[in-house]
Structure 1
């Protein structure tokens, strides 16, 4: 596959699959093709077919089943679009892909493709390229917002931005820049903010990729970038507050900021699926701040347990729920340079099996310790990602929902199979809880009927 075709295919991942057969002439973005267009001349501006397309008969639209005109590429009804795995192989074999100049849309699609397949290093590269394409638009918005002061920013409809669904970011930026040059600061701010919606999505995904790679500090910066533009962005609010709580347990000001983020989310999105957890975490943060930090809060909880439980039970229950230790650059290099021997692979498999045994016995902390040793070496291992996600959910970690979501996006089938494993190991309650959460969080799960059958047993 040529590089240009690879890029074009990747760019379409976030859109509806193309109905055009292989070999069909490219339709330029924004073209409104008409079955009766002649493909050139004056008619091209009014719904004509793109240059190079075979001439279609004039008159009424072609009825279904009508033979294709002479010269039209053959349509293979059984030809399926490439799978994500096939597309990844094609992308990996494309020389110069990383260095090639790309539009925001292509860089964004490539980054999201690698992210959903657990390849965060590559995802960060392409998401960073997409960010660079949107930087001028972001700067324009922030400058316009500063000029407006406390004045509210209008909706794109009120500002008559004229944007259409799927419009390219550079085209929307041109509209906002034109407003700014004409002195229409309010219009520039409104149009720029509307145009930045896909760019904010890129920032969030990049923050997620950084977090999963152990770089909490820069993940926080990515979520903060989103909130600087859109303070009420639901996903960024939750991720930023959760990560502040997880990584800055002794910083009382950071904890207060995290609580404010959770409270803002609940007030703005009371019906959100994130709202119940946000309420719970807000209360926990309040307790932590009153105690003087996480260590003191944990210590007070440990003392409370000692009153009710035996010494051994109290020590086990009081295990600090700290997040997995972030990977340092040295640790990352060590992982990259480690030879993949059969002995190593066998050891990783054993760690996964032990992790599943821990999960089936409710030992979530021990299971998480196993999976964090596997995932850096095998980021594509759906079985390990599913186990890590379920361990974090079981521990009630703030970022557990984020890792669970990534596991579902990359390999929901592995999550379902983890339920089978738990059931086989005697944890019927855990298996059912996992399947119920899978069914709830993935309403369009392909194996829905099979999943429901398991739940009804």
Structure 2
């Protein structure tokens, strides 16, 4: 027992909640469980002036990641923007050092011997870079500056994702481009930028060619990346689109081919043309309108009905109709895991380039809701769709907590 602890009688243990014996030292809260993400965000939301306070890069980026992974993109963007502002000096310094090197490649980390330690702050690493540059070691300073920017690239990627989910594709593209400006071979940067260019500039043949170059670069530099198979597929699709003269002509060609196959009674399993009436992303004005809309019981009931209808569409393979429903729900209920899971599966079913990104966000936010969507599809008679969803969930989340139950469903 700790020093000063009174002698305890050899009797039954003190009942839970009973007062401690006189003279008992204070009991620490060391074994108290940490707050959940929801509890933590409630505490943060109630902290007056938190968003406006100046923060270090590390604090701002941590807050941004917390809100992003929990589907609160507007708050995430606020904190991620602060993190970006705190990192702009280090980023600008690296680009200047890289320009001085010209065509000379960066050193390896072993050659540069930066001496950075795990958990070291961006400011501390940037100070070391500045000292090294001042001493005349431009090559070493540039290499260490690049190494220090790894967490900054993560922030830029999250900003791009959050902006896309908020409907601002133009700003999202700029965020991804900032990643590639620092690291042209960045796997996620290449995939995200090329996917969004393909999705938003389907009639711009030059832009489509640049998107294909991005996909091809990812495959060449990162052949083992989980994005590589999709990148190969999208590269091929872009080649077909360019040859057709743009997406609308490609879709028309696919639709014509489909009609021919259907007339011959041979193509039910191969119907795959993407619809040309995909819903447009929300504009900033539309986002503001959503934020200012009163949350009435009638509105909530209407949103719930849209989700129910969306799941019915998914079970019948009507992915475009399902997507239209979910895009009306998610802006009002960004925390709705059921709606996000349905939207992600609809995009995957449509083969949309950003489907992989939205699917990843849904898994990060609430993988359990994705599993439950499979249960819903099965209950509605779509056993094939349910199994495909569960297989993709099992593959993309290898450490899924409910893995045993998931495998049991797949073995049925």
- Give TM-score scaled by structure 2 length: 0.90
Q: CA deviation at 1:289?
A: 0.9
Count of matched residue pairs: 387
Matched, 1:370 2:340: no
- Tell me, in whole angstroms, the C-alpha distance in 2 between the residues paired with 1:226 and 1:76: 42
Post-superposition CA distance 1:218-265 (Å, at most 9, x none):
100000000000011100100000000000001111101100000000
Per the alignment, residue 4 of structure 2 pairs with none
Per the alignment, residue 81 of structure 1 pairs with 34
Query: What pairs up with 1:34-433 in 2 under 5 angstroms?
Result: 74-76=27-29, 78-310=31-263, 318=273, 320-321=275-276, 323-433=278-388
Per the alignment, residue 441 of structure 1 pairs with 396
- Tell me, in whole angstroms, the C-alpha distance in 1 between the residues paired with 2:211 and 2:273: 23
Post-superposition CA distance 1:102-148 (Å, at most 9, x none):
11110000001110111111111100110111101101100011111
Give yes or no for contact 1:246–1:322 (8 Å, CA) kept in 2. Answer: no
Give yes or no for contact 2:307–2:325 (8 Å, CA) kept in 1. Answer: yes
- Tell me, in whole angstroms, the C-alpha distance in 1 between the residues paired with 2:234 and 2:127: 42
- Tell me, in whole angstroms, the C-alpha distance in 1 between the residues paired with 2:119 and 2:109: 15
Give yes or no for contact 1:382–1:411 (8 Å, CA) kept in 2. Answer: yes
Q: CA deviation at 1:322?
A: 5.9
- Tell me, in whole angstroms, the C-alpha distance in 1 between the residues paired with 2:25 and 2:108: 45
Shifted more, 72-81 versus 335-344: the winner is 72-81
Give yes or no for contact 1:355–1:366 (8 Å, CA) kept in 2. Answer: yes
CA distance 1:431–1:318, shift in 2 (3 Å): closer
Q: CA deviation at 1:319?
A: 5.2
Q: CA deviation at 1:454?
A: 1.4
Which one scores higher on RCO, CA 8 angstroms, separation ≥ 6? 2
- Tell me, in whole angstroms, the C-alpha distance in 2 between the residues paired with 1:279 and 1:176: 38
- Tell me, in whole angstroms, the C-alpha distance in 2 between the residues paired with 1:391 and 1:150: 45
Q: CA deviation at 1:401?
A: 0.7
- Tell me, in whole angstroms, the C-alpha distance in 1 between the residues paired with 2:147 and 2:276: 40
Post-superposition CA distance 1:174-225 (Å, at most 9, x none):
0111112222211111110000000000000000000011111110000000
- Tell me, in whole angstroms, the C-alpha distance in 2 between the residues paired with 1:318 and 1:453: 34
Per the alignment, residue 19 of structure 2 pairs with none
- Tell me, in whole angstroms, the C-alpha distance in 2 between the residues paired with 1:157 and 1:423: 53
- Tell me, in whole angstroms, the C-alpha distance in 1 between the residues paired with 2:165 and 2:276: 17
Alpha-carbon RMSD across the aligned residues, in angstroms, is 2.0
Post-superposition CA distance 1:157-181 (Å, at most 9, x none):
2112101112111100001111122
- Tell me, in whole angstroms, the C-alpha distance in 1 between the residues paired with 2:26 and 2:101: 55
- Tell me, in whole angstroms, the C-alpha distance in 2 between the residues paired with 1:261 and 1:319: 22
Per the alignment, residue 25 of structure 1 pairs with none
CA distance 1:345–1:152, shift in 2 (3 Å): same
Please give the secondary structure, in 2, of the residue aligned with 1:347.
helix
- Tell me, in whole angstroms, the C-alpha distance in 1 between the residues paired with 2:380 and 2:61: 42
Give yes or no for contact 1:246–1:323 (8 Å, CA) kept in 2. Answer: no
Please give the secondary structure, in 1, of the residue aligned with 2:386.
helix
